[in-house]
Amino acid sequence: MTVRGAGCGVRGAWRRVPGAVLGTLLAAIATMSLHAAEPSRPAFDSSRAWEYLRQLVAIGPRPAGSPAIQQARDYIKKELASAGVSLAEQTWEDAGTPIGRVRFTNLIATIPGARKDRIVIAGHYDTKLFREFRFVGADDGGSSAAFLMEIAHALKARKSAFTYELLFLDGEEAFNPEWAGTDNTYGSRHYVAAAQRDGSLATLKALILVDMIGDRDLRIKREGNSTPWLTDVIWATAKREKLDAYFVPDTTTIEDDHIPFLRAGVPAVDIIDLEYPPWHTAQDTLDKVSARSLQAVGDVVLASLPAIEARLGKASR
C-alpha cells in the first residue's frame, strides 16, 4: 500500500529551495521529531507486539473452550505479569451454545490512574472454530490480543488521569458458521451483564474496541454504530498524526463486541478493518499482517487518550 503519495511532490520541491531556507526547514523538522519523542507520550513498540502475535499464532487455532485458548491465556498472563500489570480472570459457563456447554474466560488487566473511573480498551483473543481447515487467526483474534498485551507496557509507563482496563474478551466468534442471535459476543455480553449486576458499570466511562487491526493493507473505516464524538476524536487524531491513510473517512456498520456496551449506555468505538480478503479462511496467517499496521493503531490510540480523558473529565463535572 502506498501510504502517502504526497512524498513524491515533497521530493520535487526540495530542488527549488535555497540553502538558508533549507537550513531553517531542517531545524524545524528536528524540533518536530523532538516534540514527537516527548516523554509524556508513552511509546507503542510494534516489534514486541509482533513477537506476541507470533507466539499466539504459533499456539495454533484458539477457539473458546479449547486447550489451546488456555495456552494463550497462560501466555498472556505470564507476559503481563512480567510487565508488572495485574490481571484478573472472569470465568463462566454457558450450556446453551451450538456446541453445548462451553467454559469461557475474559482476562481483565487493570492499570490504576488518578481516579477510579475507567477507560476500557478491549479486543477478543479467541479464534473462530473451523473443523474443516486450520484457522490460526493472525489478524482475527491474534492482532487484537497482541495489541492489548503491548499497550499494557505503554499505559503502565503513562501517568493517567483515568484508570485503564485492558479487556481480553473470550467468545467473540460464533460457533455456527453464520453470525446470528446470541451465538456471538459471549465475552462482552457476560462482562456487561456482570458489571450491571455488581454496579461497576458506573465507573466505566468509555470503551475503545480493537478488532482485526493487523492487515498489511490496513484501511479502517469509521464504524456506524460507534459513538460519534469518540470516533471523531480518534479520526481527528489520526489526521493530526498523519496516519489518516490508515483511518479513512468512509463509514461502515459492523456488529461486534462494542454493541453490548453501547446498549448499556457506555460510549464506545470499534476500530476494525473487516475488508480483509483472508477473513475467516485458512489464509489468515502471519504473512497477511504487519507490525507497521499495529504501530499505526497503537500510535493513534495512545495519542487520542488525552482528548478522550479531557472530554470525559468535563462530562463528569
Residues in touch with Zn ion (CB under 5 A): 128, 140
Looking at beta carbons, which residue is closest to Zn ion? Answer: 140
Q: How far is 46 from 160, CA to CA, in rounded Å?
A: 22
Q: How far is the CB of 140 from Zn ion (least distance, A)?
A: 4
Nearer to Zn ion, 42 or 137 (CB): 137
Q: How far is 135 from 129, CA to CA, in rounded Å?
A: 8
Nearer to Zn ion, 75 or 279 (CB): 279
Q: How far is the CB of 172 from Zn ion (least distance, A)?
A: 7
Nearer to Zn ion, 128 or 190 (CB): 128
Q: How far is the CB of 107 from Zn ion (least distance, A)?
A: 18
Q: How far is the CB of 137 from Zn ion (least distance, A)?
A: 7
Nearer to Zn ion, 172 or 309 (CB): 172
Nearer to Zn ion, 119 or 220 (CB): 220
Region for 265 from its dihedrals, namely left if φ exceeds 0, alpha if ψ lies in -120 to 50, beta otherwise: left
Residue 142 has, within 13 A of its CA and on its CB side, a CA count of 32
Q: How far is the CB of 280 from Zn ion (least distance, A)?
A: 6
Residue 102 backbone phi and psi in degrees, to 5:
-130, 140
Q: How far is 269 from 227, CA to CA, in rounded Å?
A: 6
The answer to whether 42 touches 154, Cβ cutoff 8 Å, is yes
The answer to whether 137 touches 41, Cβ cutoff 8 Å, is no
